[in-house]
Amino acid sequence: MPRVYLIDEAQPNAFATGRNPEHAAVAATRGIVELLNARELRGVLAHELSHVRNRDMLTSTITASHAGALSALAHFGLFFGPRAASGPNPRRARRVQVADRIQADHALRAQAAVE
């Protein structure tokens, strides 16, 4: 049987955690206990216990771990990806050239308008 905890928090919430039914815990916040009547609260806790029984927590933990690892790899790639080794971005260099031409053109037009 999983351990049951009451969390002193006003936000209504309930969740199950643990790697298997022997090491599981079900928690409910003070907010949900105050918000729901006894029958509704039994339903919420039964739902959380079903996660324990079906080992959904393990699946969620593995999924979250994989998502975190992929996110870390993506952030790592931003700093040490192929562009970092290949020098400046050619698209950015082209945009700078176009912006410089436009600025020079505006300067010439302004000078011609003054004369």
Catalytic residues: 48
Rg over alpha carbons for the chain, rounded to the nearest Å, is 29
Residue 71 tokens read as 């996110």
Tell me whether residue 1 is exposed, middle or buried, using C-beta atoms within 10 angstroms of its C-beta: 0 to 12, 13 to 18, 19 or more. Answer: exposed
Residue type, 69: A
